[in-house]
Structure 1
Amino acid sequence: MKLSVDNATGRVRLTLPSRASARDGLRWAEGQQAWIAQALTRRPDAVPFEPGATILYLGETVALGWDSGFPRTPLLDDGQLIAGGPREGYERRIERWLRARALDVMRAETAEYAARAGVTVAKVAIGDAKGRWGSCASSGVIRYSWRLILAPPDVRRATVAHEVAHRVHMNHSPAFHAVVRDLYGREPTRERAWLRANALRLHSFGRTS
């Protein structure tokens, strides 16, 4: 039996083995209230994409601004991301801009690493998976969390190298990790540790609750 907390919604999820009964699982979960309370306490406050908020972008602190006289498309200038147009829809414009930047950047980095590895990638897509930062399907489609654009570039590139390496080995064998090291240039230990330590924070951006 396993308990986990959804980084985005704060919902507590109970996972049971195939032979376990729901009644036994709920009884066990009721005895884990201290763990649940502690896990929810660690969850950072939501940081909506609203004027005046402070977010991460490329690992740097960026303030969100709004000026109705500015163009609707957000503009990054001197540590501030400013979008114009009506106040209504501001949050969606900020997120669309971040998603677009994530796709552009990681599409280019994926092509770079794929050429280096001598492999092809059918498609690069982005999403907002709660439990993983990237995935590589046997079809050659690689999908990333758009939230990687919030992380430092080295962290993002380490994740891209990891997924491209799956085009060589669809497993996590020693041979696979050797490909990751070859593509990235070294063992991405620090980058993996950064993602583990900051996962909840990255998922707090754009949340409303």
Structure 2
Amino acid sequence: MADTLSLDLGGRVVTVAVKRSALARRLSLRVDPVRGAVLMLPAKARLAEAERFLAAHRVWLAERLARLPQTVALTDGAAVPLLGVPHAVRHVPGARRGVWVEGGEILVSGLPEHVGRRVADFLKAEARRLIVPRAHAMAGQLGRKPGRVSLKDTRSRWGSCSSTGDLAFSWRLVLAPEQVLDYVVAHEVAHLEQMNHSPAFWAVVESLVGDPRGPRRWLKGNGAGLHRFQVP
């Protein structure tokens, strides 16, 4: 079967990702803030069945897609949150200073076609500068030492801890409020001591950053929006 199907939503043609699963018992359709529309099929479902299912859910799909946050290109004039605080991207071609923050703006020198890439590189570097020392410091509070600490652009999780103690975080956490970034770092560091989500695990998290309920609520309500910023 094709990996995608196209559907006309009243003049707007959308692409729906199609996935098969041996565990799926029926067809299901969901709208993901990052991937868009995804149609899950049982292993033996036919293409014609999938097409009929999409057609029957055309109105539902259009409504859900309309609710998704609009994507934001990292260009001159864009509003980009840095630790949760909106900053306007401003292109200053003659400055020859790379990228820097000043007066509530992210200033970018160089050619206009390089603005997006430079802002993205700056945000990733800021994420590394803020997250890596925090991870080591929090691990030290527990008498632990993490393995490799890396940054990625993960879609389904904000952080992870491997069985060998390697930690990974989404660089997009630099867009979230600082207490949210702190919470995610503490969450993964706590797994160095408790590789579970037991009461003992949450006690470790709380010992590192206090009550985690506020940051968890923020991520649940706002986390998907961090993926709307497009990286060249």
Aligned to 2:15: none
The DSSP-based 3-state class of the residue aligned with 2:168 is strand
TM-superposed CA distance for 1:207, in Å, is: 5.7
Q: 1:23 aligns with which of 35, 41, 46?
A: 46
1:196 aligns with 2:227: no
Deviation of 1:5 after TM superposition, in Å, equals: 2.9
Amino acid at match of 2:219: L
One-letter amino acid of the counterpart of residue 185, structure 1 = G
Question: Aligned to 1:144, what secondary structure does the other structure show?
Answer: strand
Determine whether 1:130 maps to 2:170: no
Equivalent residue letter for 1:53? A
| Aligned ranges 1:82-161 → 2 under 5 Å | 82-161=107-186
Shift of 1:22: 3.1
Matches of 2:156 and 2:188, distance apart in 1? 15
Q: Secondary structure at the match of 1:89?
A: helix
Q: Is 1:7 aligned with 2:30?
A: no
TM-score for both structures, normalised by structure 2 = 0.80
Q: Where in structure 2 are there 5+ consecutive unaligned residues?
A: 1-23
Secondary structure class of the residue paired with 1:21: coil
RMSD across aligned C-alpha pairs, in angstroms? 2.1
Does structure 2 retain, via aligned residues, the 8 Å contact 1:155–1:195? yes
The alignment partner of 1:22 has SS state of coil
Higher relative contact order (CA 8 A, sep 6+): 1
Whether 1:171 and 2:196 are equivalent positions in the alignment is: yes
Q: Which amino acid aligns with 1:81?
A: I
SS in 2 for 1:56: strand
**In 2 relative to 1, CA 120–14 (structure 1 residues): closer, same or farther, beyond 3 Å?**
farther
**Letter in structure 2 aligned against 1:204:** R
Question: 1:182: Cα distance to partner?
Answer: 1.5
For the residues of structure 2 that align with 1:13 and 1:21, how far apart are their CA atoms? 17
Structure 1 distance, partners of 2:186, 2:46, is 43
* Aligned residue number for residue 55 of structure 1: 80
| Aligned match for 1:67, one of 80, 84, 92 | 92
Q: What's the counterpart of residue 182 of structure 1?
A: 207
Q: Going by fraction, where is strand more abundant, 1 or 2?
A: 2
Distance (Å, rounded) in 1 between the aligned partners of 2:166 and 2:53: 39
Answer whether contact 2:146 2:167 (CA < 8 A) is retained. yes
The secondary structure found in structure 2 opposite 1:88 is helix
Q: Which residue of 1 aligns with 2:104?
A: 79
| Counterpart contact for 2:93–2:109, Cα < 8 Å | yes
TM-superposition CA deviations, 1:51-82 (whole Å, max 9, x none): 01111111001000001112252110001101
Shift, 1:29, TM fit: 5.7
* Offset, 1:177: 1.4
Cα 1:164–1:35 shift into 2, 3 Å: farther
The C-alpha deviation readout for 1:136-192, integer Å capped at 9, x for no partner, is 111211111111000000011001100001111112122211211122122x11111
User: Could you tell me whether the CA contact under 8 Å between 1:72 and 1:93 is conserved in 2?
Assistant: no
Alpha-carbon distance, 1:32 to partner: 4.1
Amino acid at match of 1:110: A
Change (3 A) 1:168 1:92: same
- Report if aligned partners of 1:7, 1:130 keep a CA contact under 8 Å in 2: no
Partner Cα distance (1:178, 1:123) in 2? 24
Matched positions, count: 204
